[in-house]
C-alpha cells in the first residue's frame, strides 16, 4: 500500500485572485526540497497539496520529515487512498491504521467531505465507519472527546483518503512569495531567529555577514556558515555574502569618539547592506535587534542606525525577550551553534560607555572625519560569497 502526503494550506486559502501565484510558489519550494529524496508528483486542489511518490525508491518517510519545515503548510499527514465508498474507507482504515489501533486504548473518527456529491454527510460517514472499526477492534474504546487515536476520513475530488491525526506544519507563507531581503547574520542567537521569522513571512533571504579578520577568527566565519546551513531547511538554499570589515573598524578606532563606535559601525553595515540589496533586488534589510536588549538597541540608537539608508529595516524579534528568542532558536536548531565561543565583529572595540540616546547630528559629527564612500567601496570590492 503506497503512502501519499497531504499538505494543508494556511494563509494561502485567504488569498484572492493571486492565490494561484502563492500555490505555485509553494509547489516549487516543495519540489526543490524533495529533489534529493526521489521522484514525486506534486499538485494542488481544494487548498490541499498532494505529494505522491512515483517510484518505489522515493523516500516518503524522509519527504514527510523534510516537508515539516516548508513554510506555507499548516498541517501534514501521511495517508492512503481508495475509492469514494464508505465500506472501502473502512477496509482501508482497518488495514492502514492497524498498528495505531494496536497501540491505542481509545479512538474516534472524523470525516471531512470536500466533495459534496458524496451521499453521506460527514457525521453519517464518521458514525458508519466508526461503528465498523469498533467491531473490528473491540479492545479499543470509542471516545469522541479525548481519544488516543483520531481516524480521519477525507472525501475529496480525486478520491477518499484515510490517515491518523495530522502533524503541525511550519505555517507562514511560501518562501519567495513576498520578495527578497538582506538579513544581517551575526554569530549570535538573535539574528538566525530573525532570519527564520522573516522567511516565514514568505521572504527569500540573502544573508550578509561582516567579518573582521584577524580580530575575529576563521572559526567565527565557519560558525556563521554553519548557522546558515542550519537555516536552509526553512529558508531554502542560501548564499552567504561575507563582507570584510576590518579596515572600517580600524579607521573608526582612529578618529571616532569611543562612545559612538557601535552606532557608527552599524551605520556602515546598513550602508553596505543597502548597496548589496540594490544588486540583488532586495526590498528590505532584516536585523536581530530586540528593543532595549543592549545599548545599541534603544529606539534612539535604532533610529540613528537606519537614518543613513532609504530602504526599510525589518526587526522581527524587536518586541521579544531573550527567553522567547532562545526558545525559537532551540526549536529551529541554531541555539547550540550560536553559543559557541567565537566572537563576531560586533564585539570588536566595544566601547566601555556606549551612547544609548544618540542625537543624529552628534552621530554625523562622530563620523565626519571618515571617508565613508571610499570605505564602503573597499568593503564591497572584497566581498566573498559562500553557498551552503
Please write the tens of the pLDDT for every residue from 270-328.
999 999 999 999 999 999 999 988 877 899 999 999 999 999 999 999 999 999 999 99
Separation CA 32–CA 236 (nearest Å): 8
Task: Report the pLDDT value the prediction gives residue 46, as an integer from 0 to 100.
Answer: 82
Task: Report the pLDDT value the prediction gives residue 12, as an integer from 0 to 100.
Answer: 81
Q: Could you give the C-alpha distances from 45 to 24, 26, 80, 158, 335, in angstroms and in order?
A: 12, 13, 17, 9, 38
Contacts of 141 (CB under 8 A, 6+ apart): 105, 106, 107
| 11 confidence band (pLDDT: 50, 70, 90) | confident
pLDDT 10s digits, 25-76: 999 999 999 999 999 999 998 889 999 999 989 999 999 999 999 999 999 9
Separation CA 306–CA 364 (nearest Å): 13
Query: How confident is the prediction for the chain on average, in pLDDT?
Result: 94
| 14 confidence band (pLDDT: 50, 70, 90) | confident
Task: Cell numbers for 138, please give them.
Answer: 473491540
Exposure b/e, 148-165, CB count within 10 A at least 16 = b:
bbbbbbbbbeeebbbbbe
Dihedrals phi, psi of 52, to nearest 5 degrees: -115, 125
3-state secondary structure at position 309: coil
pLDDT > 70 fraction of the chain, expressed in percent and rounded? 98
Task: Report the pLDDT value the prediction gives residue 348, as an integer from 0 to 100.
Answer: 62
CB 71 within 8 A of CB 173: yes
Q: What is the mean pLDDT of residues 216-239?
A: 95
Amino acid at each position: 500500500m503506497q503512502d501519499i502526503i497531504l499538505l494543508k494550506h494556511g494563509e494561502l486559502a485567504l488569498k484572492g485572485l493571486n492565490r494561484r501565484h502563492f500555490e505555485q510558489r509553494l509547489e516549487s519550494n516543495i519540489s526543490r526540497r524533495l529533489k534529493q529524496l526521489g521522484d514525486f508528483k506534486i499538485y494542488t486542489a481544494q487548498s490541499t497539496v498532494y505529494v505522491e511518490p512515483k517510484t518505489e525508491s522515493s523516500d516518503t518517510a524522509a519527504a514527510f520529515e523534510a516537508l515539516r519545515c516548508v513554510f506555507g503548510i499548516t498541517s501534514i499527514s501521511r495517508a492512503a487512498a481508495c475509492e469514494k465508498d464508505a465500506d472501502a474507507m473502512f477496509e482501508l482504515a482497518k488495514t492502514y491504521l492497524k498498528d495505531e489501533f494496536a497501540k491505542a486504548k481509545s479512538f474516534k473518527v472524523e470525516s471531512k467531505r470536500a466533495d459534496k456529491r458524496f451521499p453521506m454527510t460527514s457525521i453519517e460517514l464518521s458514525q458508519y465507519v466508526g461503528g465498523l472499526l469498533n467491531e473490528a477492534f473491540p479492545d479499543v474504546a470509542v471516545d469522541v472527546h479525548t481519544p488516543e487515536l483520531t481516524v480521519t476520513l477525507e472525501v475529496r475530488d480525486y478520491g477518499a483518503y484515510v490517515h491518523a491525526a495530522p502533524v503541525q506544519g511550519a505555517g507562514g507563507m511560501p518562501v519567495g512569495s513576498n520578495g527578497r531581503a538582506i538579513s544581517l547574520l551575526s554569530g549570535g542567537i538573535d539574528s538566525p531567529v530573525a532570519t527564520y521569522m522573516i522567511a516565514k513571512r514568505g521572504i527569500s533571504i540573502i544573508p550578509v555577514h561582516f567579518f573582521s579578520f584577524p580580530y575575529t577568527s576563521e572559526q567565527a566565519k565557519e560558525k556563521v556558515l554553519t548557522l546558515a546551513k542550519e537555516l536552509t531547511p526553512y529558508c531554502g538554499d542560501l548564499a552567504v555574502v561575507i563582507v570584510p570589515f576590518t579596515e572600517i573598524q580600524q579607521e573608526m578606532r582612529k578618529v571616532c569618539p569611543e562612545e559612538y563606535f557601535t552606532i557608527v559601525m552599524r551605520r556602515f553595515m546598513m550602508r553596505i547592506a543597502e548597496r548589496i540589496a540594490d544588486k540583488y533586488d532586495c526590498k528590505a534589510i532584516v536585523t536581530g535587534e530586540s528593543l532595549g536588549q543592549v545599548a545599541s538597541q534603544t529606539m534612539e540608537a535604532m533610529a540613528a542606525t537606519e537614518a543613513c539608508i532609504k530602504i526599510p529595516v525589518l526587526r522581527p524579534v524587536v518586541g521579544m525577550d531573550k527567553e522567547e528568542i532562545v526558545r525559537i532558536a532551540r526549536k529551529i536548531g541554531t541555539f547550540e551553534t550560536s553559543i559557541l565561543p567565537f566572537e563576531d565583529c560586533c564585539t570588536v572595540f566595544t566601547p566601555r560607555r556606549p551612547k544609548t540616546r544618540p542625537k543624529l547630528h552628534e552621530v554625523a559629527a562622530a563620523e565626519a572625519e571618515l571617508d565613508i564612500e571610499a570605505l564602503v567601496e573597499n568593503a564591497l570590492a572584497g566581498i566573498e560569497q559562500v553557498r551552503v
